[in-house]
Amino acid sequence: MIRAVIIDDERNSRDIISLMLQRYCPDIEAVAQAGNCREGIAQIREQRPQLVFLDLEMPDGTGFDVLTGAYDSTFETIFVTAFEKRYLHTIRFSEVELILKPIDRESLQQAVQAVRQRLGSPGRQERYDVLLHNFGKTTRDVHQIVIPLSGGGEFVASVENIAYVEGGTDKTLFSLSNGDLLQSRRPFRYYTELFAGMRFYQVNNHQMVQLPHIHHIDHDRLQLHLHNQSVLDITERRKRELASVWRQQA
Amino acid sequence: MICSVLLWTERAGAQDTLQLDFSRPVNGLDIRHQLSVFTGEATPATAAALPFGKDTSIFHTRKKLLHRQNDCWLRLTIRNTGPVDSVLYLFAGWQEQLRFYAQNTSGELQLLSSAGMMMYEPDADRWDRYAFPIHVPAGQVRTFFLHLTNPYYRENELMPVLYDAIHYAQFRNREANLYKAEVLVIQIVIGMLLVLLSITIINYVQLPDKPSMYFSVYLLGLILFFCLRLETKPYQLSFFHRLPLLKYYWDVPALIGCFYFMSMLFGSAFLNLRERFPLMARYYLYSNIFYAGCILACFVSMAMGNFILPGEIFTWATFASLIPFGISFIALGRRMRHHPLIRFFLYGSLSLYILSIWSFLRNTEPVPFTPLPELVYPYMLLVVGVLLQSLSYAAGLSYRNKLVHQEKTRTQELLIKQLNKNKELQRKLNEQLEELVREQTTEIVRRKTELEEQRKLQMEAEYSKKFAEIELKAIRAQINPHFIFNCLNSIQLFVMQRDYEHAQKYLSDFSYLIRKTLDFSRRNFISLADEITYLNTYLGLEKMRFEQKMSYEILMDPTLNTAELEVPAMLLQPYVENAVKHGMNNEEHTTGQLTIRFTMIAHDMLECLVEDNGIGIERSRQLRTLPGHHQSSGMEISFNRAELLNKMYNTGIQIEIIDKSTRKTQDSGTIVKVLIPQL
């Protein structure tokens, strides 16, 4: 049995989570509920749960406040939120589970399944460190990212150090500024969404470069030379746009 | 006849004493032979003892040229043979200086009277003074002395005659009439010269140039000369008799000055000889220096009392200049074709030159060939010459003026032509410039219009974009996604709890709300009734979520015509949502109390109040500045929307947010006051 605490300011929400857990995840036992952060931290301290269902916005704080407040406790978190835009990336960068209201069975079971797997494996602390690191940073460019490696395990990288990202068959290759190559379990499309609005530019349909890493653009050969010696191909169509975007960014 | 008879009879008996019956008529009795003459210097004191002799050669009936000063004493001893004391008059001609003495019984000379051209006696009958009264008692003998001094180069008739009173009067009339003719001529000449002078001066004022000035001086000199000629005409009006010497001073100098000096000066300037005929100019210049010297010498000699020398100077200077003048005239004549003005100068000069020579030749005075006008008679020809010269010069001047004028006109015409050309050029340039400016202006205007249109389009686009954005934001903000999903969450719970009645109700309420939200977000104004229904539904759903944690009421004036009143769609919703949220944030109250009030505060002003009992806007703001708390964007958007609506529809919507604690310290919560004018 996995012991769980539900923290949400709406009774309806707490009720439905506990009801759904009863119905679809019988191995999860909701041992306690809390209506605000203060209460939540207290319940965590008291119950020592393995899993916390955490609402992001509460009257006296956010879910991050709860995490900070109960930093010394080791538990996995599933964020539950009705609609979240602001913290969505922060959470996704850290690979912490998140489900959206109204909760459907599949996402709940998926999240719980991911937590089940993680409960026995190391690397929990990195994720939450990354989460708390990213929380409070105004720009995503200085975020850290947890890359779930295809070979198992996770790697924490600074987003700044990512030179370019290259999509493969449902896996993604990360090239860092020092030349290291990493392969993520996540598909390329996941990262294009995650990095949208940042300093990344998709030079072709399977490669995305981070602009500060460009050394120069070879206009004749339609090639992009990066500081880490990598050479990317660029389509004729995107060359001009890239040049202007790059210049602007520089 | 009588005269000659008398002359003959008297001569027979005349030895030294003239025997005459004073009671008988005496008419111009020639007493040349009865007069004793002494020529030489003497004083009245010594005169009686002078060795007088008979010398009739000093007498002359016409004018005479003197080469030295004539100084002579005449002695007349006369006896009145008649029965009564009577007076006869001795007239010895119009002389320069005459002094008349009588010898008294003691043999001394006594000055009786004096007269003379060179003398001025402040006396009314100055001409009558020339007839000296010889008063001899009946039967007695008296001796008279007449002292004649003439320093001048010309001597008038010296012919001593006697008149009785009646014949003297006749003589005087004759003389007066005789000179009248001459004076008339002189006056006419003066008049003409004055007219010329006036014209010349007027011209000079109009067009100051040297020839006019020289001509004026020439005319002035001549006028003065002729005016002074009047002085020598007995019994006639004259101007300068108080200055008897002036006519001597301005005699030869006037002739040299006018006819030579000024004439040549005038000619030189008039013909512009310095440029056209430099040799002649130099020739005239030297001549003028010579004549100026002559004039100076004349003045000096006259100042020293020598009035003979000027005559000599003039004579010789004239003779000396005859041939050079002739040559210069010929030289000028040869150039006449090239210079139209030469004609005038030449005609003038030649007319005087020829007429003066002619008049000298035809001189009736018994003097040798002389150019001195004083000794020429009649000098009408000379006057004609002078007049011709002046007229010629004047005509020349006027012709010159005409030429100058013509030249000026021609220059002006040229100038005007040039100006016209310039104007034409300027006009063309202006036209070109104008065209250029017009083109450029059109271009600029076109560009401006383009730019403006672009800007307008841009602005419109931006405006509509902004509006759309705000509209979109309004949808998002006014119906908080949180609310939507939480609602759905709640409904889901009813479903899971198998409470289908509630599920049904809330689902329909929720659908209504979403439908209205979508509907209202496209409209700017809705009726108050719609707004109230909307808010009611919204608050009902919120109540479903939070149950006893919140309560609400919507109050309104029962007289309010909610169907007629218009409010901006969902303007209040964000404030209501905020009130719900903050009302539950206050730890002092377990229930968040929300009140919405609609009142007409004026006939056209709807007041909407949204009141909660939360922590108040001020504290809420303080909390929000802490990290991790986001700024409430819903209220901001409502505020922007109100502003946009105000701008678009000129509605004066006012939004005021009041913290209750500022009114009452123990109170807490926020009041949002929205004033909506009804149009």
| Domain shared by B644 and B613, yes or no | yes
pLDDT in tens, B284-303: 999 999 999 999 999 999 99
Choose among A23, A82, A136: nearest Cβ to B489: A82
Q: Is residue B215 part of a domain?
A: yes
CA B563 to chain centre: 88
Q: Which of B140, B163, B186 is the last residue of a domain?
A: B163
Q: Residue B629's pLDDT is what? A: 47
Q: Is residue B590 part of a domain?
A: yes
The residue of chain B with its CA nearest to that of A59 is: B585
State how many domains chain A has: 2
A104: pLDDT strictly greater than 50:
yes
Choose among A10, A62, A100: nearest Cβ to B545: A10
pLDDT in tens, B229-273: 999 999 988 888 889 999 999 999 999 999 999 999 999 999 888
pLDDT in tens, B20-50: 888 889 999 999 988 999 998 899 888 888 8
Residues 6+ apart with CB under 8 A from B367: B63, B64, B65, B375
Choose among B486, B491, B493: nearest Cβ to A82: B486
Q: Which of A99, A134, A169 is the last residue of a domain?
A: A134
B628–A59: do the CB atoms touch at under 8 Å? no
| Domain shared by B505 and B651, yes or no | yes
Residues 6+ apart with CB under 8 A from B562: B527, B528, B529, B532, B556, B598
| Domain shared by B279 and B144, yes or no | no
**Which residues span the domain enclosing A240?**
140-249
| Domain shared by A7 and A48, yes or no | yes
Residue B25 preceded by cis peptide, ω within 30: no
Q: Which of A116, A134, A152 is the last residue of a domain?
A: A134
Q: Which residues of A touch B592 (CB under 8 A)?
A: none
Q: Does A12 touch chain B (CB under 8 A)?
A: yes
Q: Which of B163, B196, B230 is the last residue of a domain?
A: B163
How far apart CA B204 and CA A174 sit, in angstroms, is 113
Q: What is the DSSP letter of B34?
A: T
| Domain shared by B487 and B383, yes or no | no
Choose among B482, B491, B547: nearest Cβ to A83: B482
CATH number at residue B350: 1.20.1070
In this prediction, residues A50-56 reach a mean pLDDT of 91
What's the gap in Å between the CA of A135 and the closest CA on chain B?
Answer: 8
Q: What is the 3-state secondary structure (H, E, C) of A118-154?
A: HHCCCCHHHHHHHHHHHCCCCCHHHCEEEEEECCCCE
In this prediction, residues A82-98 reach a mean pLDDT of 83
B464: pLDDT strictly greater than 80:
no
Residue-wise DSSP of B593-625: EEEEEEEEEETTEEEEEEEE-SS-HHHHHHHHT
| Domain shared by A94 and A110, yes or no | yes
- Find the range with the poorest average confidence among A125-134, B32-41, B302-311: A125-134
How far apart CA B662 and CA B668 sit, in angstroms, is 9
What's the gap in Å between the CA of B460 and the closest CA on chain A?
Answer: 27
What's the gap in Å between the CA of A222 and the closest CA on chain B?
Answer: 35
β-strands A172-176, A162-167 pairing: antiparallel
The residue of chain B with its CA nearest to that of A64 is: B628
- Residue B232, classed as helix, strand or coil, is coil
The residue of chain B with its CA nearest to that of A62 is: B628
β-strands B64-65, B154-155 pairing: antiparallel
Q: Which of B407, B429, B454 is the last residue of a domain?
A: B407
Confidence of residue A219 (pLDDT cuts 50, 70, 90): confident
Confidence of residue A121 (pLDDT cuts 50, 70, 90): confident
Choose among B482, B489, B630: nearest Cβ to A12: B489
| Domain shared by B192 and B309, yes or no | yes
B493–A19: do the CB atoms touch at under 8 Å? yes
Q: Residue B477's pLDDT is what? A: 53
- Find the range with the poorest average confidence among A235-239, B24-28, B344-348: A235-239
User: Can you list the alpha helix ranges (DSSP code H) found in B109-209?
Assistant: 165-206
In this prediction, residues A55-74 reach a mean pLDDT of 85
The residue of chain A with its CA nearest to that of B615 is: A59
The interface residues of chain B toward chain A in range 581-600, judged by CB-CB distance below 8 A, are 584-585
pLDDT in tens, B582-615: 887 777 777 888 999 999 888 888 999 999 888 8
How far apart CA B81 and CA B362 sit, in angstroms, is 47
| Domain shared by A92 and A144, yes or no | no
A32: pLDDT strictly greater than 60:
yes
The interface residues of chain B toward chain A in range 546-585, judged by CB-CB distance below 8 A, are 546-547, 584-585
Residue B378 preceded by cis peptide, ω within 30: yes
Choose among B482, B485, B628: nearest Cβ to A64: B628
How far apart CA B315 and CA B324 sit, in angstroms, is 15
- Average pLDDT over all residues of chain B: 86
Q: Does A10 touch chain B (CB under 8 A)?
A: yes
Owner of token pair 């993604």: A172
How far apart CA A125 and CA A75 sit, in angstroms, is 10
Q: Residue A60's pLDDT is what? A: 82
In this prediction, residues A50-70 reach a mean pLDDT of 88
Q: Does A33 touch chain B (CB under 8 A)?
A: no
| Domain shared by B144 and B266, yes or no | no
Choose among A23, A59, A61: nearest Cβ to B584: A59
Choose among B481, B490, B627: nearest Cβ to A83: B481
CATH number at residue A47: 3.40.50.2300
| 8 Å CB contact between B87 and B134 | yes
What's the gap in Å between the CA of A194 and the closest CA on chain B?
Answer: 21
Q: Does A61 touch chain B (CB under 8 A)?
A: yes
Q: Residue B194's pLDDT is what? A: 95
| Domain shared by A118 and A179, yes or no | no
How far apart CA B349 and CA A17 sit, in angstroms, is 147
| Domain shared by B141 and B225, yes or no | no
| 8 Å CB contact between A1 and A50 | no
A61: pLDDT strictly greater than 90:
no
Choose among A12, A59, A135: nearest Cβ to B545: A12
Q: Is residue B510 part of a domain?
A: yes
What's the gap in Å between the CA of A147 and the closest CA on chain B?
Answer: 25
In this prediction, residues A84-111 reach a mean pLDDT of 86
In this prediction, residues B125-140 reach a mean pLDDT of 90
Q: Residue B471's pLDDT is what? A: 64
Residue bearing the bigger pLDDT, A160 or B547 = A160
Q: Is residue B14 part of a domain?
A: yes
Q: Is residue B23 part of a domain?
A: yes
Q: Does B626 touch chain A (CB under 8 A)?
A: no
B496–A16: do the CB atoms touch at under 8 Å? yes
State how many domains chain B has: 3
Find the farthest-apart pair of alpha carbons in chain A and give their distance in angstroms, rounded: 67
A101–B490: do the CB atoms touch at under 8 Å? no
A83–B546: do the CB atoms touch at under 8 Å? no
Q: For A143, phi and psi rounded to 5 degrees?
A: -65, 165
| Domain shared by B181 and B151, yes or no | no
The residue of chain A with its CA nearest to that of B479 is: A83
| 8 Å CB contact between A4 and A50 | yes
| Domain shared by A211 and A111, yes or no | no
**Which residues span the domain enclosing B95?**
2-163
CATH number at residue B606: 3.30.565.10
Q: Which of A80, A103, A134 is the last residue of a domain?
A: A134
- The amino acid present at B558, given as its one-letter code, is P
β-strands A207-210, B566-568 pairing: unpaired
| Domain shared by B106 and B189, yes or no | no
| Domain shared by B134 and B257, yes or no | no
How far apart CA B281 and CA A208 sit, in angstroms, is 110
How far apart CA B192 and CA B387 sit, in angstroms, is 8
In sequence order, the β-bridge partners of residue A156 are: A146
Q: Residue B597's pLDDT is what? A: 93
- The interface predicted TM-score (ipTM) is 0.75
A16–B492: do the CB atoms touch at under 8 Å? yes
Q: Which residues of A touch B484 (CB under 8 A)?
A: 82-83
| Domain shared by A209 and A235, yes or no | yes
- The amino acid present at B253, given as its one-letter code, is P
How far apart CA A28 and CA A18 sit, in angstroms, is 9
A19–B497: do the CB atoms touch at under 8 Å? yes
Q: Does A62 touch chain B (CB under 8 A)?
A: yes
What's the gap in Å between the CA of B444 and the closest CA on chain A?
Answer: 32
The interface residues of chain A toward chain B in range 93-122, judged by CB-CB distance below 8 A, are 100-103
Choose among B485, B546, B630: nearest Cβ to A83: B485
B163: pLDDT strictly greater than 90:
yes
Q: Is residue B468 part of a domain?
A: no
| Domain shared by A9 and A114, yes or no | yes
In a mutational test of the B interface, the residue from A17, A83, A88, A138 whose CB has the highest number of chain B CBs within 10 Å is A83
Of A192, A195, A2, which is closest to residue A114 (Cα–Cα)? A2
Q: Which residues of B touch A57 (CB under 8 A)?
A: 482
B310: pLDDT strictly greater than 90:
yes
Rg (chain A; Cα; Å): 21
In this prediction, residues B114-132 reach a mean pLDDT of 87
The answer for B51, left when phi > 0, alpha when psi is -120 to 50, beta otherwise, is beta
| Domain shared by A52 and A69, yes or no | yes
Residues 6+ apart with CB under 8 A from B503: B491, B494, B495
The residue of chain A with its CA nearest to that of B493 is: A16
B206: pLDDT strictly greater than 90:
no
Choose among A65, A102, A135: nearest Cβ to B489: A102
Choose among A13, A57, A62: nearest Cβ to B489: A13
* Planar angle of CA B417, B420, B425, nearest 5 degrees: 125
How far apart CA B252 and CA B295 sit, in angstroms, is 8
Q: Is residue B260 part of a domain?
A: yes
User: Can you list the alpha helix ranges (DSSP code H) found in B61-208?
Assistant: 165-206
Q: What angle separates helix B633-649 from helix B380-478, to the nearest 10 degrees?
A: 140
B486–A62: do the CB atoms touch at under 8 Å? no
Confidence of residue B625 (pLDDT cuts 50, 70, 90): low
| Domain shared by A144 and A190, yes or no | yes
The residue of chain A with its CA nearest to that of B546 is: A10
Q: Is residue B574 part of a domain?
A: yes
B488–A103: do the CB atoms touch at under 8 Å? no
Q: Does A57 touch chain B (CB under 8 A)?
A: yes
Whether the model pTM is above 0.80: no
How far apart CA B537 and CA B543 sit, in angstroms, is 10
Q: Which residues of A touch B584 (CB under 8 A)?
A: 59
How far apart CA A65 and CA B75 sit, in angstroms, is 169
Q: Starting from the edge strand earliest in sequence, which strands make up the sheet with B86-91, in order?
A: B27-30, B161-163, B86-91, B131-136
| Domain shared by A102 and A76, yes or no | yes
Q: Which residues of A touch B481 (CB under 8 A)?
A: 82-83
User: Can you list the alpha helix ranges (DSSP code H) found in B231-339?
Assistant: 246-249, 252-255, 263-270, 273-276, 278-303, 308-334
Q: Which residues of A touch B485 (CB under 8 A)?
A: 82-83, 100-102
B546–A102: do the CB atoms touch at under 8 Å? no
In this prediction, residues A153-167 reach a mean pLDDT of 90
How far apart CA B580 and CA A10 sit, in angstroms, is 14
Q: Residue B15's pLDDT is what? A: 54
Q: Look up residue B483 and give its two tokens.
A: 């609310």
CATH number at residue A239: 2.40.50.1020
What's the gap in Å between the CA of A17 and the closest CA on chain B?
Answer: 9
| Domain shared by B92 and B118, yes or no | yes
